[in-house]
Amino acid sequence: MAETKRKTNRAPAKRNKKGKDNKWNKGPHLPNSLKKELDSLNPRDISDEEMQSDDDIDVYEYEEKVPDEELKKNRSIGLMDDEDVASDDEDGEDEGKKGASDEDDEDGDEDDGGDDDDDEKHARMLQDITGLPGDAFDGKKKKNNDVVFEAYPESEYNPSRDVLDGDGRITIDDLLNPLHGKSGFSKIRKDVQRIDKKSKSVLPPLPKPQQEKIDRKSTYVYSKKKLTEYEPLVKKNREAPTIFFDEDIDVGYSTVGAIASEFRPRTEFEKKMDLLINAKELSDAHKSDGARLLELNKVSAEDVKERQDRLAKMRSLLFRHELKSKRVKHIKSKTYRRLLKKDKSKAGSIDTEMDPEAAKELAEKQEFKRAEERMTLKHKNTSKWAKRIKKRGFDVQDDGTRAAISEQLQQHALLTRKRNSMHDGETSSDDSMDDDDEDISGDEDDASKLKLLEKGKKRTLEVLEEDDDVPKSGLLSLPFMVRGQKKKKEAADEEARLALEEFDSSLKQLEGDDDVKNKNIGSLGGRKVFGAQKKQVSQSKIKVNNKDNYFDNSDSEDDGDITEDVKDKHDRINTQKDVTIDTNILREESEVGHDPLFKVSFDDISKDSGPKIEYDVSLVHTNTSKKKRDNKKHSNRVESGKKAKVMKPEVVEPAAKVMKSKVAEPASNKDVDIEHGDDDSDTDGEIRMVDGVITSGTDYELPSQDDLIKRAFAGDEVEDDFEKAKQEVLNEEIPEPEKPVLLPGWGQWTRIQKKRGLPSWMLAEHERAKKKRDEELKKRPDSHLKHVIISQKLDKKAEKLQTKVLPYPFKSKEHFEQSNRMPLGPEFNPATTIGLLNRPEVVKKPGVSIKPIKLKK
Amino acid sequence: MEEIHDVSDELEIKVKKYQRGEAADLEWLMQTEEGRLEAEGLEKTWRFNQQAIASEVDVASRKNQFDLVLPDLGPYTLDYTSSGRYMLSAGRKGHLSIIDLHTLKPIKDMQVRETVRDVVFLHNELFFAAAQKKYTYIYNREGTELHCLKEHGAVLKLQFLKNHFLLSSINKLGQLHYQDITTGQMIGNYRSGLGRTDVLQLNPYNSVLTSGHSGGTVSMWKPTSPSPLVKMLCHRGPVTAIAFHPNGHLMATAGMDKKLKIWDLRKYEAIQTLPGLAKSLDFSQKGMLATSTGSFVQVLATSDSQDYSRYMIHTMPKGYQINKVLFRPYEDVLGIGHSSGLSSILIPGSGEPNFDSWVANPYETAKQRREKEVRVLLDKLPPESIMLDPTQIGNLRTSRKKEKPTKEEIEAEKAAAVAAVKNVSLKKKTKGRSKPSKMARKKQEGIEQAKRSFVEQNEDGVMKKKQKRITETSELPVALQPFVSRKAT
């Protein structure tokens, strides 16, 4: 737009030329507002076009000729301007609400003649064709022409023109006028007039932000008040040393009576009972002497009679039933019983057939029976009766008893078989289920078989591996029982192993591919060897054990050794066999396990090892016995020695003491040592030697002159030693500053340098360090005590018993430490104060919830 | 006048307040008063012998005078429970016995057939420890061996710290051991480095152990430090015995230099030096000091003045060598263990006449004993609470600067220094001198300098080491020193 505007400004002259066409008028420059007023006075005097151009002109004064090409453009712009004007006019129409359509039409004719011509032709054509008045078509068009959209929606930011112009309010009259003459118009107008009379001018609502601001303000004031409401209460609670929460809390009923007294009848029955019990008459009777109670108890004679009759009837019925049942019970006829049972069972079976629940019940019953049978073994000749018969012998019994026993056994068998069958059924069904699953998943018979086999193998292995717990007590712990168990177990193991091998072989057979076969051969072979080995070892063990039974004295450890030896040998055999092992022989080998030849070889081996073992054992035995004897001797000797030792000092000691007293207390280390030796002399052999030398008494030599002098001046050394020790400790705790040294070769080449010596700063530093050390030494508590070293080392472990910083209320260390000296605790303070001081911060009853704070006014 | 009266009333009220009620009636609490031998005129207290005393005292006290003659199992040592009811005695040759001194009946009498060097009761009469030939054992009253404490080695002297439940010992190698008997944990194992000694005594006030050595030194130990707290040169010869006054301020030492010294432990000064040898020393509850040499027992006591002077003497038959003297708590009795048995003599005024049943009750029932065991265990003190001045517990820690700051501390210091330099706002100078680039450079320089000082510190340490090495070789002529190879040294 800016460009186009510029262009318009450059070509005012041209415009002037064609001023007539465009109603271009030159006039005095007027401000917009004035023009508007003029406009309102004589609306169509000056076109809006002028206004616009005027606007342009009053800014730009500069005029210049413009090339022709631009003129053309200008014209087009002029056209555009016209259109703008048209739209402006429409606005004007809205303002006045006057039929300005004629003008519009004129404008349209003037401006876009071509278009209008076309339209007229078209209208005429339509008129001709349809025979309708042209207005019908015109209206449509007009409408189309009339609607001109604003660039922006009308709002407070984009006000419409009339709002800007001032008095653009739409009154109700404006709205009503078009309805003039239509039905109901008068009524509406009356209403409106009535409203007008009563109405007051309503102020427009405040802008939203302002409104919100006011809201917030009032809310703040209110909430502030609300919030600070609790402040004093909270403050009080916070400052209180103890808060009590159990002031007036009713925990509830304490007795059953209290609960009962609160009872209110709720259900109908309860109400009825209540009505009877708490009837006014009754209560009155109770309150008075109670004589009336008897009256109230009165029952009519008829009622009593009736009751008696009923009771008598019931009693007689019962009696008869009893009699009957007694008679039935006493019937001894077996046939009757059988028939009765049959009937019952029949009825039961019918029942079961009839309804599934009964069947279920029956099944349950039977299951229970089975369980009972399993538990009690009632039918397995365990009863007293059966045992007695057994004891007496079956042959002696008559046929009836025999039959009974056989029947019983049969029954047991039946029950157990039934159980087995049942379980089998279950398991088989389970298995089949599993199989089904597997079939579905794999759909390969071989695979499932493999799996089955593997499962079986696993089971057998488990059986093999599981340790049988030998009971420690009871019948099973008896030696023969244990032996029997062992045998049984071994047999079972044997069987299991065989089964395992079978599994293995069948597994092998199942493997289709040769490669897989080869691979498996190795592994299977390995496994096989392992199994076989185990078996063999166990066999050898048995053998050895058997052998061991002959040597009664052999120890268990020896047993282990033997078995190990045997094992080694077998290993060798096995390894030899391993070399020749083949896939096809595997199954055969399992049979070889039972081969008598093999056994023989075992026997040989064990036989070979037998005597050796015996020898060893005997050897060991003799050795131990010897040792024992030696020990005994030794101990005897030791004891005797001890006795001797114990005996000696008693004799010798007094002499030693005498000697010591003669020595006249020479204060020396040596003497002390001697004394120590003396102390330990009684049993410590080594020291006794020293003791012996000294206590020998008679050959005591007087100490030499040197020794005497040493002893006499021993104490002097002690002092020096202590001094040294102290210096060491001091040096360790407060290290001495190092002597100032120059690097060798530095500053020492010339004579002058040498003469100068160390630089002064070095010396000064050294001096300072020395002084510092001296000061620290002086600070030590042992500085003025020559004979004392007090360690100033910090004990880190003890540091935790002291505080790092001064606790809050204290200002000085002395004050705090003084306060620490004050004894605390129940021993030093009366119970009343202790109770107050020890009272917890919160006092409440257990089990009572704490309610939120209530505002008290 | 009235005013004065009011003031006095107020004072009374205040006194009552600070006394927290009425003042305790000591007459009821302390029913018996201590007695003492008092000499009249030319009499001397040490002239009274045991027979003279026995004729004057009541039957119950006379019961406490006895001699147990046990000549076979040779010099005896003894220990009392803290209540003074039970006496544990051990013969050197393995005779152990517990005697109930109220009934004078032996509770247990047994033979361990081994040298027994020392015995000590643990927290009550049910348990005791015996230092035997090779190991220390803990037995119960029935004589069942409960524990064998092998870690202690061949122990010469045992002490039990009853507030801390620590059994401490010194063995033949001069090693100190502290073992917690409630947990069995070895709390401390320290080499005294001063040779073999059998002089070990507990200071009852602060539970510091004190050992006397052959160099005439006495060193004080606590279980949490490997070096002695205090080392004193007490005698010019070996120290033979040490004893502590119950209030913990006085220590008596005896040496082979024929001197007996009494030290004030607050000043570490000898306040009194007495002539004479002493093989065994013991302070009574009331502060009497018993010494023994050979077969002679002497009891020293203070009268009004601080000085200890002879109070009583007792001579055993000739040839008896006294091994140990020990005052019995809460009784005026001195127990004597000697080479041929045990003796018990009366020393009037030595024991505390009133016992506090919360502390030690001679008439304790089994139930009370059980309850007390629990209470005492609950009140058990940790080993680190043993220190020279136990009042320091809970006080402010004396801050001593460390010898060497740790790496982290150096780092922190460095960071602080750098931050300080960074935060310094530079002065605005004349035009051109406070250009941003110059300011930045200056700041950077400051930071570098701050850092450098720390680097130098580190290098200083290194330098010091280097210098040390050179000083070692400085015996050579200066000109040759640079050519000394390090390998040669």
CB interface of A with B, residues 825-844, below 8 Å: 829-830, 833
User: Are residues A8 and A78 in contact, defined by beta-carbon separation less than 8 angstroms?
Assistant: no
Contact B236 A798 (CB under 8 A): no
The yes-or-no verdict on residue B34 having pLDDT over 70 is: yes
Contact A791 B230 (CB under 8 A): yes
Q: Any idea how long chain B is?
A: 489
- pLDDT tens track for B305-330: 678 999 999 999 988 999 999 999 99
User: Are residues B88 and B97 in contact, defined by beta-carbon separation less than 8 angstroms?
Assistant: yes
The alpha carbon of residue A695 is apart from the nearest alpha carbon of chain B, in Å, by: 17
- pLDDT tens track for B355-382: 988 889 999 999 999 999 999 999 999 9
- pLDDT tens track for A394-417: 777 788 888 888 888 888 887 776
CA–CA distance, B258 with B279 (Å, rounded to integer): 11
Name the helix (H) or strand (E) containing B221: strand B217-221
Gyration radius (Cα) of chain A, Å: 65
CA–CA distance, A314 with A307 (Å, rounded to integer): 11
Contact A714 B236 (CB under 8 A): yes
Rounded mean pLDDT of chain B?
A: 88
User: DSSP string of B30-76?
Assistant: S-S--------TT--GGG--HHHHHTTS-HHHHTT-EEEE--SS-SE
**The residue to which tokens 């910090």 are assigned:** A794
Residues of B in contact with A804 (CB under 8 A): 397
Rounded mean pLDDT of chain A?
A: 66
User: Are residues B327 and B285 in contact, defined by beta-carbon separation less than 8 angstroms?
Assistant: yes
Contact A813 B222 (CB under 8 A): no
A:B CB pairs within 8 Å: 156
Domains and CATH numbers, chain B: 43-388 (2.130.10.10), 407-483 (no CATH)
- Write the burial class of residue A789 (CB in 10 Å: 0-12 exposed, 13-18 middle, 19+ buried): buried
> What phi-psi label fits residue A393: left (phi over 0), alpha (psi between -120 and 50 degrees) or beta?
left
- pLDDT tens track for A529-581: 443 344 444 444 444 444 444 444 434 444 444 444 444 444 444 444 444 34
Of A719, A789, A817, the CB nearest to B230: A789
Contact B268 A646 (CB under 8 A): no
Of A646, A725, A744, the CB nearest to B474: A744
CA distances B170 to A37, A632, A785, B159, Å, are: 126, 36, 28, 9
Amino acid at A828: F
Bridge pairing between strands B76-80 and B66-69: unpaired
The yes-or-no verdict on residue A588 having pLDDT over 50 is: no
3-state SS class at B384: helix
Contact B93 A682 (CB under 8 A): yes
3-state SS class at A824: coil
What is the structure's pLDDT at B107?
A: 94
Which residues have C-beta within 8 Å of that of residue B296, sequence separation ≥ 6? B313, B314, B315, B316, B322
- Give the residue-averaged pLDDT of A508-526: 45
Under DSSP, the state recorded for A333 is: -
Of A667, A726, A794, the CB nearest to B257: A667
Residues of A in contact with B222 (CB under 8 A): 795
Closest chain B residue by Cα to residue A805:
B396
Report phi then psi at B84, rounded to 5: 80, 10
The alpha carbon of residue B6 is apart from the nearest alpha carbon of chain A, in Å, by: 27
Contact B233 A787 (CB under 8 A): yes
The alpha carbon of residue A815 is apart from the nearest alpha carbon of chain B, in Å, by: 11
Contact A803 B397 (CB under 8 A): yes
The yes-or-no verdict on residue B197 having pLDDT over 90 is: yes
Q: Which among A671, A676, A733 is the top mutation candidate for probing chain B, defined by the most B β-carbons within 10 Å of its own β-carbon?
A: A676
Of A722, A803, A830, the CB nearest to B396: A803
What is the structure's pLDDT at A174?
A: 81
Closest chain B residue by Cα to residue A685:
B133
Under DSSP, the state recorded for B397 is: P
The yes-or-no verdict on residue A432 having pLDDT over 60 is: no
What is the structure's pLDDT at A667?
A: 38
CA–CA distance, B254 with B275 (Å, rounded to integer): 9
The answer to whether A720 faces chain B, any CB pair under 8 Å, is no
**The residue to which tokens 């009498």 are assigned:** B109
3-state SS class at B200: strand
The answer to whether A165 faces chain B, any CB pair under 8 Å, is no
Global pTM value: 0.48
Under DSSP, the state recorded for B282 is: E
Under DSSP, the state recorded for B401 is: -
- pLDDT tens track for A279-302: 888 888 888 777 777 777 778 899
Closest chain B residue by Cα to residue A729:
B227
Residues of B in contact with A668 (CB under 8 A): 237, 256
The answer to whether A806 faces chain B, any CB pair under 8 Å, is yes
CA–CA distance, A691 with A656 (Å, rounded to integer): 9
What is the structure's pLDDT at A671?
A: 40
The alpha carbon of residue A746 is apart from the nearest alpha carbon of chain B, in Å, by: 10
Q: Which residues of A556-715 form beta strands (DSSP E)?
A: none
The alpha carbon of residue B428 is apart from the nearest alpha carbon of chain A, in Å, by: 37
CB interface of A with B, residues 735-794, below 8 Å: 738-739, 741, 743-745, 748, 782, 785, 787-791, 793-794
Residues of A in contact with B213 (CB under 8 A): none
Contact B396 A725 (CB under 8 A): no
Closest chain B residue by Cα to residue A795:
B225
CA–CA distance, A596 with A602 (Å, rounded to integer): 10
Of B133, B230, B321, the CB nearest to A788: B230
User: DSSP string of A70-84?
Assistant: HHHHHHHHHHHHHHH
Highest mean pLDDT out of A49-58, A92-101, A635-644, B469-478: B469-478
Q: Is the dihedral of CA B445, B451, B455, B458 positive or negative?
A: positive
**The residue to which tokens 């009133």 are assigned:** B354
CA–CA distance, A240 with A263 (Å, rounded to integer): 43
- Write the burial class of residue B260 (CB in 10 Å: 0-12 exposed, 13-18 middle, 19+ buried): buried
Of A714, A816, A830, the CB nearest to B396: A816
Name the helix (H) or strand (E) containing A722: helix A714-733
The ranges assigned to domains in chain A are 2-198, 208-239, 325-427, 431-469+479-634, 649-716, 720-793
Q: How many CB atoms lie within 10 A of CB B374?
A: 9
Residue A173: band (very low, low, confident or very high) from pLDDT cuts 50, 70, 90 = confident
Give the bridge partners for B385, in sequence order. none
- Give the residue-averaged pLDDT of A18-22: 44
- pLDDT tens track for A672-707: 343 443 444 333 333 333 333 333 344 566 778 888
Closest chain B residue by Cα to residue A746:
B478
Bridge pairing between strands B239-244 and B250-255: antiparallel
- pLDDT tens track for A734-782: 888 888 887 777 777 777 777 777 888 888 999 999 999 999 999 898 8
Q: Any idea how long chain A is?
A: 857
CA–CA distance, A406 with A347 (Å, rounded to integer): 29
Residues of B in contact with A725 (CB under 8 A): 231
Residues of A in contact with B385 (CB under 8 A): 798, 801
Residues of A in contact with B473 (CB under 8 A): 744
Here the tokens at position A609 are: 């090892």
Closest chain B residue by Cα to residue A734:
B403
Which residues have C-beta within 8 Å of that of residue A169, sequence separation ≥ 6? none
Q: How many helices (H) and strands (E) does chain A have?
A: 37, 3
User: In terms of Cα–Cα distance, which of A101, A88, A98 is closest to A162?
Assistant: A88
Report phi then psi at B319, rounded to 5: 95, -15
Here the tokens at position A301 are: 């004679």
User: In terms of Cα–Cα distance, which of B73, B77, B85, B136 is closest to B110?
Assistant: B73
Of A683, A798, A817, the CB nearest to B387: A798
Of A683, A788, A817, the CB nearest to B115: A683
Here the tokens at position A166 are: 């001032």
Residues of A in contact with B214 (CB under 8 A): 669, 672
Nearest 10 degrees: CA dihedral of A691, A695, A699, A701?
70
Of A682, A684, A741, the CB nearest to B467: A741
Contact B384 A816 (CB under 8 A): no
User: Are residues B345 and B334 in contact, defined by beta-carbon separation less than 8 angstroms?
Assistant: yes
Exposure pattern of A735-745 as b/e (b: 16+ CB <10 Å)? eeeeebebebe
Report phi then psi at B160, rounded to 5: -120, 125
The alpha carbon of residue A244 is apart from the nearest alpha carbon of chain B, in Å, by: 27
- pLDDT tens track for A241-253: 888 887 666 767 7
The yes-or-no verdict on residue B343 having pLDDT over 60 is: yes
Under DSSP, the state recorded for A742 is: P
Question: Helix A101-111 to helix A113-130 angle, to the nearest 10 degrees?
Answer: 120
Report phi then psi at B19, rounded to 5: -80, -5
Residues of B in contact with A679 (CB under 8 A): 117, 198
CA–CA distance, A359 with A533 (Å, rounded to integer): 55
User: Are residues A527 and A586 in contact, defined by beta-carbon separation less than 8 angstroms?
Assistant: no
Contact B115 A680 (CB under 8 A): yes
Closest chain B residue by Cα to residue A748:
B478
Residues of B in contact with A649 (CB under 8 A): 74
Residues of A in contact with B21 (CB under 8 A): 830
User: In terms of Cα–Cα distance, which of A700, A702, A656 is closest to A675?
Assistant: A656
CA–CA distance, A25 with A45 (Å, rounded to integer): 11
Residue A384: band (very low, low, confident or very high) from pLDDT cuts 50, 70, 90 = confident
User: Are residues B92 and B117 in contact, defined by beta-carbon separation less than 8 angstroms?
Assistant: yes
What separation, in Å, do the N-terminal and C-terminal C-alpha atoms of chain B show?
95
Q: Report angle CA A677, B323, B243 to the nearest 5 degrees.
A: 105
- pLDDT tens track for B239-256: 999 999 999 899 999 999
The alpha carbon of residue A805 is apart from the nearest alpha carbon of chain B, in Å, by: 7
Residue A74: band (very low, low, confident or very high) from pLDDT cuts 50, 70, 90 = very low
